[in-house]
Amino acid sequence: MKSGPASPGLRRICLFLLAANAAYCLVTSLGGWAPAWGMFSRIERLEFTLTDRGGAPVDLRRYVPPVFYFANGDVLAETAACACKKAPGSVPWTLRVPSAGLERTLCLP
């Protein structure tokens, strides 16, 4: 099977699609009106405290990617439970989410 150069019509279509995609990316990156950005702006910040066995605060954001949103207490609790397994010397951890009335002890020794 021989592979030759693409036909001029196919080449034009590909260049048009590439230019349209690049223009769309440029326009959406300049404005905060894009649907994806609006979705994240409506997520309320979930206030919580996470402490180790000595009562010292634990920074849960060390264990998650920089752009990570805790949308509810259950996701937060599961993430904290996973993170405390990486620091077994300071367990158990206590998670408190006042707005949800949630208090959990995680990773019991």
pLDDT tens column, 32-86: 666 666 666 667 778 899 999 999 999 988 888 887 878 788 888 899 999 988 8
- Reduced to 3 states, what is the DSSP secondary structure of residue 42? coil
Q: Do 49 and 72 fall within a single domain? A: yes
Q: Do 25 and 72 fall within a single domain? A: no
Q: Is the pTM of this model over 0.85?
A: no
Per-residue pLDDT for 1 more than 60?
no
Note down the domain range covering 63: 44-106
Q: Supply the Cα-derived Rg of the chain in whole angstroms.
A: 24
Domain count, the chain: 2
The 10 Å Cβ neighbour count of residue 9 is 8
Q: How is residue 97 written in tokens?
A: 């989410």
Please state, in angstroms and rounded to a whole number, the distance separating the CA atoms of residues 85 and 83: 5
Q: Do 75 and 91 fall within a single domain? A: yes
Question: Looking at residue 69, what DSSP letter applies?
Answer: -
Q: How is residue 19 written in tokens?
A: 């230019």
